[in-house]
Every structure is written in structure tokens, then in C-alpha cells.
Amino acid sequence: MSAAQVAVVTGGGNGLGAAIVRRLHANGYRIAIADLDGSAAAILAEELDGSGTTARGYAVDVSERAALERLLADVLADFGGVHVLVNNAARTQAKPLLEITPADLDSVMAVNFSGTFHACQVFGAHLAERGYGRIVNMASLAAQNGGTATGGHYASSKGAILSATKAFARELAPRGVTVNAVSPGPQDTPMVHSIVGEDDLENYLTNIPVGRLGDPAFIAEMVALLASPGAATVTGACWDANGGLYLR
């Protein structure tokens, strides 16, 4: 992999996104860290490379298409190109299904689905024009089993991402761009600990066949593999890592 390759990671300032950023940077990519929390993105970029040569942070609200268009323009201006897009930005809200309001639904879908869809359009068109690219969308076990600890609107948004992944994969494959999804189950992250609750965590683990939460570093490895030039024949796929909670 050429050291010149540039990867954009949305929602890259914290949690799983930060793990993905660290893995790709360690693999030699220059990284554009996009996050609603611009300060978190900037802090991580500074930690990885204080000179700004191989890592930069950007404050981006992925629910706004114009913000994604600006992100592409900024990354091209700062790095001179882009080769990989990881759509990781997401909004999670645990709420009983019949209590989800129209505003709740709209806000979750705007970030999770619309943000991913528009990013695939904006960056996908650019990558296709250049004849090469890798797009990795973060789905979820919730998309496959309807969700348990997360809200139904979150599960629905992630299910829509799986469908969009297939649509973009079919459209962009002839132009050298692969589009895939990674579908993690519950991970050992602050977000999962918060949703489950520390008091209920031990009991929660008994429901996972392998008996443990997933490792974000391993999910990052999966993303890095799909983002690599060698993954040229994998497109429209969904790679699962859910501890046996969902078996195809």
C-alpha cells in the first residue's frame, strides 16, 4: 500500500471510530478524522501527528450533505487526494419502540442512514472518477436481528445502510470502487457499557455465545482489510463480528 493513500473516517474522534483511525494510521495511511466533536478529532490528530502531515481533524456534521461536500474539498486541499472512506459516524438512542417520536426517528436516520448515503454519493463519485476507491460502511448486529439493547430506529437505520451498501457496490464496482459493510455486535466500548449498565453487564454477557464483548481493535483490523488494495474482489459484502449472536 502506497504511503500516499488517504483515508477519511467519519465519527473518528472517539470510541470505535478512534480505534479505526489508529489502525489505519499505523498501517501507513494519512488520515482525515471527521467528527461532530471537532475538538476530539483535533486532539486525536495531534496525538498521531503533531505536524498535521499524516493526520488532521475536521468538525463535520454528516447529517448535512453540504458539510460532506466541504469535507471532500478540504481533504483534497490538505492531502491532495482521497482513496478510502469509512462511514462510522452514528447516533445511538435506546428507547422503547412505541415511544420513538418523529423527531427521534428523523435525528437518528439523518446521521446514520442519510449521512452514510450522502457520503457514499459525494465520495463515491470522486473515487469513481479516478478509477479506484474503498468505502467501508459501519452497520450493526441490530440491523440483522432488529436490535435488542438499541432502539428500533437505530436498528432500522443500520438495516438501511446494509441495503445501501449493496446498491453502491453494484453501481461503483465497474469503476474500481468497492463498497462493503462491517457489522459488529456489542463491543467493549464506553457506549455499550453505558447502554447495558455496569450492574447488568455480567448477566448480559451470559447471553453472548462466546461470553465476551467484542474488541474494537479487531473491528478496526476488519475495516483495514476491506480498505486495502488487496480487497479488490470483495464488494457488496457484510462481515459479521457478533460473538455468535447472529448466525447466517
Give me the CATH topology for the region 6-241.
Answer: Rossmann fold (3.40.50)
Q: What is the pTM of this model?
A: 0.95
pLDDT at position 196 is 84
pLDDT at position 238 is 98
Q: Residue 143's pLDDT band (boundaries 50, 70, 90)?
A: very high
CA distances in angstroms from 76 to 32, 67, 72, 79, 83, listed in the order given = 10, 14, 6, 5, 10
Is it the case that residue 1 has pLDDT exceeding 50?
no
Considering only residues 227 and 198, tell me which one the structure prediction assigns the higher pLDDT.
227
Neighbours of 26 (CB within 10 A): 11
Per cent of the chain over pLDDT 90 is 90
The domain segmentation of the chain, as residue ranges, is 6-241
Per cent of the chain over pLDDT 70 is 99
CA distances in angstroms from 177 to 66, 132, 152, 231, listed in the order given = 23, 5, 31, 10
Q: Residue 236's pLDDT band (boundaries 50, 70, 90)?
A: very high
Is it the case that residue 191 has pLDDT exceeding 80?
no
Beta bridge partners of residue 240, listed in sequence order: 183
pLDDT at position 2 is 47
pLDDT at position 3 is 53
Give per-residue burial for 139-157: e unless 16+ CB within 10 Å, then b.
Answer: bbbbbbeebebbbbbbbbb
Residue 154 a catalytic site member = yes
Find the range with the poorest average confidence among 92-101, 189-198, 202-211: 189-198
pLDDT at position 194 is 82
Residue in 29, 154, 204, 246 annotated catalytic: 154
Closest by CA to 233, choosing from 178, 181, 182, is 178
Q: Tens digit of pLDDT for each residue in 57-81?
A: 999 999 999 999 999 999 999 999 9
Q: Give the distance, in angstroms, between the CA of residue 184 and the centroid of all CA atoms in the same chain.
A: 11
The DSSP symbol for 54 reads S
Backbone angles phi, psi at 210, to 5 degrees: -85, -5
CB 143 within 8 A of CB 161: yes
pLDDT at position 179 is 99
Average pLDDT value over all residues in the chain: 96
Please identify which residue in the block is written with the cell numbers 460473538: 243
Angle of helix 38-48 versus helix 15-26 axis, rounded to 10: 30
Q: Residue 197's pLDDT band (boundaries 50, 70, 90)?
A: confident
pLDDT at position 192 is 82
* Segment (H or E) for 103: helix 102-109
Rounded average pLDDT over 22-41: 98
Q: What SS3 class is residue 89?
A: coil
